[in-house]
Amino acid sequence: MQLAPKTTIDKSTPVRIGELANEQKILHTIMAKNSEFLKTGKTSLSGLPTGFTQLDDIIDGLQKEHLITVGARTGVGKSWFALNLIKNIAIDQKVPIAFFSLEMSVTQIMHRLVSLCTGISVTKIRRGMLSEKELNDVADGFDTIRKSPFLLSADMSNRKLSTLRSNMNKIEKAELVVIDHIGLMYVHSQQANNRVTEVGEITSSLKEEAKNRNIPILGLAQLNRKAADKDGRPKSSELRESGSIEQDSDVVLLLHRDENKPGEMEVIVAKNRDGEDNIIIPFNYKGEKGDWILEEVTKKPTPDPPEQNKKKDEEEEFRKIAREAVEEQRQISG
């Protein structure tokens, strides 16, 4: 069984572009969205909604055939960010998701998801330190998760790429695949001599899977040690082990937390192949340490300062050239 049906036309063989466009109903989709906009003044996202409005406005949801990478330093909250997305999409929106966890156990994931659904801390859930009301809420949370179209593969002792692809083939239906995390996967052996080449093979393979299955695949990734030792916002060039992660990804989201600003997190849209990038989206997270229920801050997303400063410098340079040209024209006229 496949995650999603493949297209009837073999896209590896050159055919008339009109046939491809008709087969994928591209014009029909554009016209339908335009009709919706004319009637309501609004239009739906072309991708799968993440549940975070400002992020969706920038990346237009999680697009089919896209490889999306979420990168961060160790301990910043990559897994929590992924679980917040899973809660928003699979549990709240009832959209089928497959989550391949190469790091957390089923128990850890369930504790965290129940915490997200109930607002009760993982510590209280894990230790059983619950009031009668909280116990009922936890039971209701488990029931909600159980009824959701959320598919989970955890405790994977074999992290080989071929095993992951084989397990994906066993899934009847999923509109999103999430992998935690890319750095734990390998192609041939866990003691590969050239890790950079191996990670490149992994990311290109995941991109191929996204295209063949016509779904988005979201993978988590660590930043390198150099990035972990420095302060300031991360960059996509700091993704660990391979530049191919940045190259193969259609969207790169980087998470950043300032220790001096507890309860705050930034999601940086570092790469967005189909739209605006270098945008910072502010988030708040609620709960005790390790219990991160994410909420977008209502203030408008801002450009990443280095990129903003670069644009300011370019504008100032343009104004300088314009002033010199005007002055030169005056001298010629005089």
Q: pLDDT by residue for the chain (334 residues), tens digit each?
A: 445 444 455 555 676 666 655 656 666 666 776 776 666 666 678 899 999 999 999 999 999 999 999 999 888 889 999 999 999 999 999 999 999 999 889 999 999 999 999 999 999 999 999 999 999 999 999 999 999 999 999 867 778 899 889 889 888 889 999 999 898 898 876 555 677 888 889 999 999 999 999 999 999 998 876 655 566 788 888 887 767 898 999 999 999 988 888 888 999 999 999 889 999 999 988 766 556 677 888 666 667 665 555 555 555 665 666 566 656 666 655 5
Evaluate whether residue 7 is within a structural domain. no
Residue 181 burial (CB count, 10 A)? 22
What is the per-residue pLDDT for 319?
A: 65
**Cβ distance 243 to 237 under 8 Å?**
yes
What is the per-residue pLDDT for 33?
A: 63
What is the per-residue pLDDT for 97?
A: 95
What is the per-residue pLDDT for 1?
A: 40
Evaluate whether residue 144 is within a structural domain. yes
29: which 2 tokens? Answer: 């989709």
d(CA 129, CA 114): 14
Evaluate whether residue 284 is within a structural domain. yes
pTM: 0.79
What is the per-residue pLDDT for 147?
A: 94
Evaluate whether residue 19 is within a structural domain. no
Structural domain of 184: 45-322
Evaluate whether residue 115 is within a structural domain. yes
pLDDT digit string, tens, across residues 255-266: 998 888 888 899
Buried b (16+ CB within 10 A) or exposed e, 237-262: ebbbbbebbbebbbbbbbbbbeeeee
Nearest to 44 by CA among 55, 54, 57: 57
Evaluate whether residue 94 is within a structural domain. yes
- Please state the domain count of the chain: 1
By DSSP bridging, strand 176-180 and strand 150-153 are: unpaired
Residue tagged 């979201």 (tokens): 218
Torsion angles phi and psi, residue 156, rounded to 5: -75, 110
What is the per-residue pLDDT for 53?
A: 92
d(CA 237, CA 250): 14
Evaluate whether residue 27 is within a structural domain. no
CATH number at residue 123: 3.40.50.300
Evaluate whether residue 90 is within a structural domain. yes
Q: Is 241 helix (H, G, I), strand (E, B) or coil?
A: coil
